[in-house]
Structure 1
C-alpha cells in the first residue's frame, strides 16, 4: 500500500483545483492498484512455484515409497525363500553324509524291525566236552576220564540268530509289541526246560507286551529272559545285560534263564523306580542219592534211577506229550515266583547307576512209595512230599565313564537255585526217606567292558558257583549230595585214566577275557570279529583222606558275525 500524503503534497493540493485534486487522487489509486496487482502476481508466482515444488516433492516421495515397497516386496520374497533354501541346503548336507540305518518297515499300521546275525565260530577246549558253543562247565572231566587227555576243536554256525520286533499303538498312550528270536543251538534228544527252555526248533524268546503310559504299567506274556536276569534300563524287555562272551553258556556265576512267564511291572518317579512280579515255568534238576539208590523198600515212583531227573514221559508218547522219552521232566505243581525292584536315580542330570534286588520262591514235589518191607520202619503206602526253595540277590551296573567304561556285578544265594546258574549245578537231592532236599548254593559275577575306541570293545569277567553238602545218614550210610567217604576214592585213582574216582563237583569258577571289533560298517550292515579266552576250574568235595580233586579247561573261541540289519 502507498504511504500517506506528505505535508507538501497537501499544501500543493490546497492550491490546486478540485479537478486536479481528483486526478491526483485517481493517479494515486491507479498507482496503488498496479502495486497491488504486481504484488498479487508476485504472490501467485511464488505460490505456483511453491506448489510446483510441493508437487515435485510429493512425486519424489511417491516414487521413493514405490521403490521402498518394491524393495520390501523383494525382501519379503527373499525371506520367504530362506526356509526352502536352508531346507535344501540341509537336505543336500544330509544327503552328502552317510545315511543313518533304519531297517524298520510298516505293514498295516505296524512297524516291523528285523534283526539278528550270521555267525561262523570256532571252538578250542584243552579237555574234550563233546559240546557245541554252549559249554557244559560242570562236566569238565577229571583226570581219570579218557576225555581229559584229549583236546577238542569244533567249528559251528549254530549260534546264528534271527529276530523280529512288531510294534503298534492301540491308542496314544497304549502300546503293543511282539518279539521273536531264534537260533539253532538245540538237539531233539537233549532239548529240555532246565534253563533256556531249548526245544527244537530253538526258541530263545517269543513274547508279547502291552504298555500303558498313563499308569506306568507293563505286561509281558511268553518266553523271555527270567525276571531275575540283570537289566540295563528299568525292568523292560530287550534291555537284559549278559556277559559279552562268545560262549553261548556265558560265564559261571551269571544268574539267568529264558523261559515262559507272565509278568507285570510298574514304574514310578519318572521311571527312576520299578517293581515287577513274574510267574515262570518251573523245572527241578536232581543229583546225589538219585544215582546211588535209597534204603530197601523206599522208592520215588516218578524218579528215574541213575540220571537224577524225574517224571519221564511214557514210552511211545512223544506224539502226544510233546516231550522226548530220552529226557525227563520234573513234577511241577506251581510256577517259580520272582519279585524284583530296580532303581535308577538321577545323579547330576544323568542315570549312571542301575541297582536291582530280587527274591525267588520255588516249590519241589514228589511222590514216595513205601513197601511193608522197608528198612526205615515207615508205614507202608504212597505219600506226597513237598518242600519250598528260595533265592535272593541283587545286581548293579555302573557307567563309570559314558561310552568308555561300564562295570557290572551280581550275586545270588539260596536253596534249590542251581538251574538259574550258567554252571547248571543241581537244585536238589533226596533224603533216605525219599523226600526232596534242596541244596544250598551261592553264585556271583563281576566284570567290565572298556570301549577302547568307537569300534573296539575289550572285556574281562570272573564268576563262581558253589554248593554245600546235603547229607543224611541211615544205618551208617550217607545219603544225599557231597559224600566222598568211599574207601576207593584216592588221589591216585582220580589221576589215573580209568581210575575209580567218585569226585562230586562242589564249585565251578571261571575267568574270561575277550574283545569285539566292529571291523566294517556301511550300508550293507556291519561285520564284527570276536575273540574270547576262558580258564575254568572245578573243585570237588574233599574225601575222607582230605584229598580234594580238581580239574580245569582252557577254552578259546573266535567269531565272525555279519549283522545285515
Structure 2
C-alpha cells in the first residue's frame, strides 16, 4: 500500500512556495515601472496567478480524496468516499464527470494545459467531522474573464465564436475586457466600420442587398454601374451582468448602429444616418436548474446557432453585406424565450413567443378608393380587404404595419455531441385580414407554418467547417434574407399563403489566427397563389399577368413579374493585419453574384442578375 502520510504536506509546501514567488515577482516588477505596458503585463501575470491558485486547489482536493479513500480502505471514518464533483457559479457550472481536456478552451479563453486535466473543484471548507464541503468561488468558475463560460462546455469540436471573426461580430460578440462597478460587470463590444461596394447594376441600397429591387432590362438602372461607400454600420454594444446568487445571473445587452435613414438623410452633404436598435434584451440564467430566460429584441430563435441555444452564438456568415446572404434564416425582433439544457449542456430545447409581421403581395389588387393605408380593392363593386395600417405616433408613418392576431410560436431542439452541432426547429404564424364583400364584413385568419434544421460539421476542428441550414413551409417568406412575401389575397380577402423554401451552404476556413476564408451558396424560393376574375389577373405568380415590358428599356408595356427564386454565390476573405493590446484592425473583401428568376406569365419569365465586389475595414478596440 502506498504511503500518503507525507505527500500532502510536501506538495502543499512546494505549491505554496511557487505561489508566493509568482506573487512577489509581478508586484516588484509593477513597482519598477508604472506605465500602461507594465500594468498590462501585471494583469496577465495576475491571470496566471489565478490559474496557479486554481491548480493548487485542485491538487489539494485530489490529495484529500486520496487520503479519504485510503482511510476508508483501512476501515477509517470519513464522509468523502462517495463524493460527487460539482462546480457551480454565476456564469455556468460543471457537474458530474465533465473535465476540461488538454487543448480545450477554459473560462479565460485560453487552452487547457495538460496539468489541468484533473477533476475540477472550486474552494472548500472543512467541517468538524473531518469531511469537507465544496464551496466554489466566483474566481474558480469564471476567472473574471469569460461572460459565456457555458458555451465553452459543449466540447463539440465546433466551439463558441472566436471574437475576432465577422460571424461573431454579426451575432453581437463582446470584447475581452471586463470592467467592474461594484458587483456589476460591464463588457463593451462593437467596431468602427468603413465599407464600400462596386456593383454592375444601380441598386440604391448601399452594402445592404435588396434582391427584390434588382432591376430588369426595362430599367435604366439595369445598364448602370454603381459605387457606394459609407460608415453607417459602425456598431456599439454593451452588456451589464451580475450574479443574483450562487447559481443565477442577470444580464442586460444592447447593440446599436447607424443603419436607419431619417427623412432628412441625403448623400450629397451630411450623410446623416441615424442610430437604430439592433438588439436589446434581458437574460436570466439559472445554472442549478439549467434554465435560461430571455426577453427583449434579439435574433429570432429560428436563426441557426453555433453552440446550444445561446444569445450571441448565432451561426451567421462572415459576409460584408449587411443583408447577410440570400437564403439565410433570420430576423431581429421582440421575443420571450425559455430554454432548458440537459446532459451536461449537450441537449437543448427552447420555446419562443415572438413578434409577428406578415409581408403581403397585392399584385393585381389596386388601392381601394385611392387608399394608401393597407386597403385593397377586391373583385366586385365596393369590395375590399384590409391587411394593415400605417404607423402613427412614434412608429413610421410611411410604413404599413400588418394586422396580427397572435404572436409567432417557435420551438427548437439543439444537439451538441462530441463532433458537430445539429438543430431542428418549427414555427407557427397566423396571418390575419379583414374584408368587406357584398356589404358583409368578416375577419380571416390563416395558419402558416414551417420547419427546418441546420448543422455545423467541423471537418478540421477550429480550422475548416461546413455549415448547412434550411427552412421550408407556407407563409413564412419574411424569415429569409430576400424578404419574399408570406401571402397574397384570395378572392374573398382572406390570406392566400405562399409556399416558401430557403437554404444555405458554406465552407469556412481559418488557416491561422490572422486569416478567415469563406464561400457560400444561398437560395430562397416562393410558390404561387392566384385567381382570375372580371377578366383581370390577381395574386402572386399569376400566368395571366403581363411581363411583356420587362425585356426592353424602350418598352412602354407593363412588367409585373413575380419572383420565383433568388440565388447567391459568394466568396471572400478577412485579414487581421493589426492585433494587440489596443485592439484589432482587419480588412476584408467579398465577391458576390446573385441571380433572380421569375414565374412565367404573358411575355415569358424574365431574369436578372447582380455582380458585386465589397471592401471593408474594421477597427475593434475591445477585441
Superposed pair shares fold, TM > 0.5: yes
Please state how far the C-alpha of 1:241 moved relative to its aligned partner.
1.0
The counterpart of 1:339, out of the listed 411, 415, 434, is 411
Task: State the match for 1:85 in structure 2.
Answer: 21
Give secondary structure in 2 for the equivalent of 1:228: coil
Task: State the match for 1:507 in structure 2.
Answer: 565
Please state how far the C-alpha of 1:255 moved relative to its aligned partner.
0.4
The counterpart of 1:287, out of the listed 343, 361, 382, is 361
Task: State the match for 1:459 in structure 2.
Answer: 518
Task: State the match for 1:528 in structure 2.
Answer: 586
Please state how far the C-alpha of 1:522 moved relative to its aligned partner.
1.1
Task: State the match for 2:278 in structure 1.
Answer: 204
Contact 1:146 1:497 in 2 (8 A): no
CA gap of 1:391–1:451, structure 2 versus 1, over 3 A, is same
Task: State the match for 2:612 in structure 1.
Answer: 555
Which one has a bigger Cα radius of gyration?
A: 1
**Distance in structure 2 (CA, Å) of the matches to 1:334 and 1:481:** 25
1:270 aligns with 2:348: no
**Distance in structure 2 (CA, Å) of the matches to 1:161 and 1:214:** 34
**Distance in structure 1 (CA, Å) of the matches to 2:21 and 2:234:** 47
Task: State the match for 1:388 in structure 2.
Answer: 447
Task: State the match for 1:132 in structure 2.
Answer: 206
Contact 1:226 1:259 in 2 (8 A): yes
CA gap of 1:528–1:302, structure 2 versus 1, over 3 A, is same
Task: State the match for 2:293 in structure 1.
Answer: 219
Give secondary structure in 1 for the equivalent of 2:446: strand
Please state how far the C-alpha of 1:190 moved relative to its aligned partner.
12
Question: TM-score if structure 2 supplies the norm length?
Answer: 0.69
**Distance in structure 2 (CA, Å) of the matches to 1:102 and 1:340:** 30
Please state how far the C-alpha of 1:90 moved relative to its aligned partner.
7.8
**Distance in structure 2 (CA, Å) of the matches to 1:258 and 1:285:** 16
The counterpart of 1:365, out of the listed 432, 456, 460, is 432
| CA deviation vs aligned residue, 1:201-238 (integer Å, no higher than 9, x gap) | 31110000001111111100000000000111101111
Contact 2:187 2:238 in 1 (8 A): yes
In the TM superposition, 1:253-332 aligns within 5 A as 253-289=327-363, 291-292=365-366, 293-297=377-381, 299-303=383-387, 310-313=388-391, 318=392, 321-332=393-404
Question: TM-score if structure 1 supplies the norm length?
Answer: 0.76
Give secondary structure in 1 for the equivalent of 2:400: coil
Contact 1:189 1:327 in 2 (8 A): no
In the TM superposition, 1:10-159 aligns within 5 A as 83-88=19-24, 95=41, 102-159=176-233
For structure 2, the residue ranges without an aligned partner over 5 or more in a row are 1-11, 30-37, 48-174, 266-272, 367-376
**Distance in structure 1 (CA, Å) of the matches to 2:434 and 2:15:** 86
| CA deviation vs aligned residue, 1:416-440 (integer Å, no higher than 9, x gap) | 1111000111111001221111110
Task: Return structure 1 stretches of 4+ with deviation > 6 angstroms.
Answer: 76-80, 90-94, 96-101
| Aligned residues: CA RMSD | 2.6
Task: State the match for 2:87 in structure 1.
Answer: none
For structure 1, the residue ranges without an aligned partner over 5 or more in a row are 1-75, 192-198, 304-309, 347-351, 372-379
Contact 2:389 2:403 in 1 (8 A): yes
Contact 1:288 1:482 in 2 (8 A): no
**Distance in structure 1 (CA, Å) of the matches to 2:284 and 2:274:** 28
**Distance in structure 1 (CA, Å) of the matches to 2:531 and 2:264:** 32
The counterpart of 1:469, out of the listed 525, 528, 531, is 528
Give secondary structure in 2 for the equivalent of 1:103: strand
**Distance in structure 1 (CA, Å) of the matches to 2:593 and 2:215:** 14
Task: State the match for 1:409 in structure 2.
Answer: 468
1:516 aligns with 2:574: yes
The counterpart of 1:242, out of the listed 316, 320, 323, is 316
**Distance in structure 2 (CA, Å) of the matches to 1:136 and 1:287:** 16
Task: State the match for 1:539 in structure 2.
Answer: 597
CA gap of 1:369–1:523, structure 2 versus 1, over 3 A, is same
Please state how far the C-alpha of 1:457 moved relative to its aligned partner.
0.6
CA gap of 1:402–1:437, structure 2 versus 1, over 3 A, is same
**Distance in structure 1 (CA, Å) of the matches to 2:517 and 2:554:** 39
1:440 aligns with 2:499: yes
Count of residue correspondences: 455
Please state how far the C-alpha of 1:499 moved relative to its aligned partner.
4.3
**Distance in structure 2 (CA, Å) of the matches to 1:127 and 1:249:** 17
Please state how far the C-alpha of 1:88 moved relative to its aligned partner.
4.6
**Distance in structure 1 (CA, Å) of the matches to 2:190 and 2:380:** 55
Contact 2:220 2:553 in 1 (8 A): no
| CA deviation vs aligned residue, 1:53-94 (integer Å, no higher than 9, x gap) | xxxxxxxxxxxxxxxxxxxxxxx9999866533555688799
Task: State the match for 2:547 in structure 1.
Answer: 489
Please state how far the C-alpha of 1:542 moved relative to its aligned partner.
1.3
Contact 1:290 1:430 in 2 (8 A): no
Task: State the match for 1:306 in structure 2.
Answer: none
Please state how far the C-alpha of 1:554 moved relative to its aligned partner.
0.5
CA gap of 1:273–1:324, structure 2 versus 1, over 3 A, is same
Contact 1:462 1:512 in 2 (8 A): yes
**Distance in structure 2 (CA, Å) of the matches to 1:439 and 1:189:** 33
| CA deviation vs aligned residue, 1:502-539 (integer Å, no higher than 9, x gap) | 22211111001111111101111110101111000101
Please state how far the C-alpha of 1:485 moved relative to its aligned partner.
2.3
**Distance in structure 2 (CA, Å) of the matches to 1:164 and 1:202:** 15
